[in-house]
């Protein structure tokens, strides 16, 4: 494997760890009541329900990376992870350890993915993929739900971790915009300074005094 591929693999796996670390930070900020409380404005969902849903996908992929069959429809709803913040914390740490130990060679493994995507069909749809491609999906999927959790937390008046639920692409965009603002501000200051240098200084005319 080339050094470039190795770097890409490392970054891909790091993205999973980053998202799970954000989840741990969230669980550390919340209390038990906030984790399980249902919010009518959010279809009566709970933060715990959204978070369990995220971990389900990470767990399904981690297990499938070993046997090759990934079924996103096989999820256990209403588990302890959804109703017990400490169970969710333990599950988060176990998943993080699993992805930290995942061999880079697994990323190119082919998967048969099953997921119900059609409302019209009673069955589920299948497609070929790879572990690397599905890591990209579960990370993006988690960030989406983190954003929803962030909105729910705001409606509940909770203190959320800084930057929680903000997509990596959004973080980069915001950083680029801030850099552009600083650059243009610097150019404006330089232009103003140059204009002052080019403006003749006013002199006093005393001939008519």
Which pLDDT tens digit goes with each residue over 4-20? Answer: 558 888 999 999 999 99
Q: What is the pLDDT of residue 165?
A: 83
Rounded to 10 degrees, what is the CA torsion of 37, 43, 54, 130?
A: 170
Q: Is the pLDDT of residue 2 over 50?
A: no
C-beta pairs of 107-113 under 8 Å, 24+ apart in sequence: 107/9, 107/12, 107/13, 107/131, 107/132, 107/135, 108/132, 109/65, 109/68, 110/68, 111/64, 111/65, 111/68, 111/69, 111/70, 112/68, 112/69, 112/70, 113/70, 113/71, 113/72
Q: What is the pLDDT of residue 14?
A: 96
d(CA 149, CA 165): 8
Q: How many CA atoms lie within 13 A of 154 on its CB side?
A: 10
Question: Cα 147 from chain centroid?
Answer: 8
Average pLDDT value over all residues in the chain: 88
Percent residues over pLDDT 70 in the chain: 83
Q: Are residues 77 and 145 in the same domain?
A: yes
Q: What is the pLDDT of residue 209?
A: 47
In a domain, 208, yes or no: no
Helices 85-100 and 47-67 pack at an angle, to 10 degrees, of 30
Q: Are residues 58 and 104 in the same domain?
A: yes
Q: Are residues 67 and 9 in the same domain?
A: yes
Looking at the structure of the chain, the number of domains it has is 2
Q: What is the pLDDT of residue 1?
A: 44
d(CA 80, CA 103): 29
In a domain, 206, yes or no: no
In a domain, 71, yes or no: yes
Give the pLDDT confidence of 175-199 residue by residue, as tens digits: 676 676 777 766 667 666 677 777 6
Residue 10: give its domain's CATH number: 1.20.120.450
Q: Strand (E) positions, the chain?
A: 38-39, 45-46, 69-71, 110-115, 125-130
Q: Are residues 116 and 94 in the same domain?
A: yes
């Amino acid at each position: 494997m080339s050094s470039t591929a190795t770097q890409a693999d490392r970054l891909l796996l790091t993205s999973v760890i980053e998202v799970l670390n954000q989840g741990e930070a969230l669980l550390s900020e919340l209390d038990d009541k906030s984790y399980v409380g249902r919010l009518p404005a959010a279809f009566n969902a709970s933060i715990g329900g959204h978070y369990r849903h995220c971990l389900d996908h990470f767990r399904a992929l981690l297990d499938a990376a070993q046997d090759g069959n990934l079924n996103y429809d096989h999820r256990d709803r209403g588990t302890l992870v959804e109703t017990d913040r400490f169970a969710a914390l333990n599950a988060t740490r176990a998943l993080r350890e699993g992805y930290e130990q995942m061999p880079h060679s697994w990323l190119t493994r082919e998967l048969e993915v099953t997921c119900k995507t059609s409302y019209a069909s009673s069955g589920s749809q299948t497609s070929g993929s790879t572990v690397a491609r599905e890591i990209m999906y579960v990370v993006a999927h988690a960030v989406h739900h983190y954003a929803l959790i962030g909105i729910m937390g705001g409606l509940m008046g909770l203190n959320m971790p800084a930057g929680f639920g903000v997509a990596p692409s959004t973080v980069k965009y915001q950083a680029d915009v801030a850099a552009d603002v600083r650059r243009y501000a610097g150019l404006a200051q330089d232009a103003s300074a140059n204009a002052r240098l080019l403006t003749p200084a006013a002199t006093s005319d005393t001939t008519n005094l």
